[in-house]
Structures are given as structure tokens and as C-alpha cells.
């Protein structure tokens, strides 16, 4: 994905759908995900490291799994797989967001 972390945060925020059950139960918080950007640039192996609820965890995984290709990591000029840990924040109020 081109851009920086702020670009990715915005991309996620535009695609998150707050699950109705979580909304009704007023569940908020941070889902910590881990995923791999393969040497091809594809996002894979998205998993929850620390979750909040099944609904919010699944939504965070769904959105990050839809990510467009990233620029792959490089080591000594060769594309390599890179593992990222990333928080997705769910907040009821003015706006849902990721940070």
C-alpha cells in the first residue's frame, strides 16, 4: 500500500463497519492485529493478538484482509516478508476510527 501509517489508518477508518451487536452493547476498544506483508506485497495471515469481542475482532480482521498490495519490505535490496502489529480502534461517538 502506498503512503504511510496515517494513510493506512484513514483507509481502515473509511471501511470499518461497526457491528450492530457491538453497537447495541456499547462495546468499544482496541483490537490488536498482527499480519504479514509478503514479499509480493500481499497482506496475509491476519490474526487477532488481543481482541475485544468476536464481532469487533472479526470486523478488524475483515478490513485489514481487504488491504491493497503494499510495497514489500526489502533487505539488502531483496523483497522480504515483514510482520506488522497494528491497532484498530473502535469508538462509539462522533466517528469510528483506527489509530
Q: What is the pLDDT of residue 98?
A: 47
Instruction: Count structural domains, the chain.
Output: 1
Q: Please check whether residue 56 lies inside any domain of the structure.
A: yes
Within a domain: 25: yes
**The predicted structure's pLDDT at residue 54:** 97
pLDDT of residue 87: 96
96 belongs to a structural domain? no
Instruction: Taking the CA atoms of 57, 63, 66 and 70 in sequence, report the sign of the dihedral they define.
Output: negative
What is the reported pTM? 0.86
**Positions in the chain short of pLDDT 70:** 1-3, 94-99
- Please give the pLDDT value at position 99: 44
What pLDDT score was predicted for residue 2?
A: 57
- Report d(CA 9, CA 4) in Å as an integer: 9
In a domain, 9, yes or no: yes
Q: Which residues form the domain of 14?
A: 5-33+45-66+84-90
Please state, in angstroms and rounded to a whole number, the distance separating the CA atoms of residues 86 and 83: 10
- Joined grid coordinates for residue 76: 539488502
C-beta of residue 84 within 8 angstroms of C-beta of residue 34 = yes
Which pLDDT does position 3 carry in this prediction? 61
Query: Residue 17 falls within a domain, yes or no?
Result: yes
Amino acid at each position: 500500500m502506498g503512503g504511510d501509517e496515517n494513510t493506512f489508518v484513514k483507509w481502515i477508518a473509511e471501511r470499518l463497519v461497526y457491528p450492530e451487536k457491538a453497537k447495541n452493547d456499547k462495546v468499544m476498544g482496541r483490537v490488536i492485529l498482527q499480519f504479514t506483508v509478503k514479499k509480493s506485497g500481499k497482506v496475509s495471515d491476519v490474526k487477532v493478538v488481543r481482541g475485544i469481542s468476536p464481532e469487533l475482532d472479526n470486523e478488524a480482521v475483515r478490513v485489514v484482509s481487504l488491504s491493497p498490495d503494499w510495497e514489500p519490505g526489502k533487505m539488502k535490496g531483496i523483497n522480504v516478508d515483514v510482520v506488522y502489529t497494528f491497532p484498530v480502534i473502535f469508538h462509539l461517538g462522533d466517528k469510528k476510527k483506527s489509530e
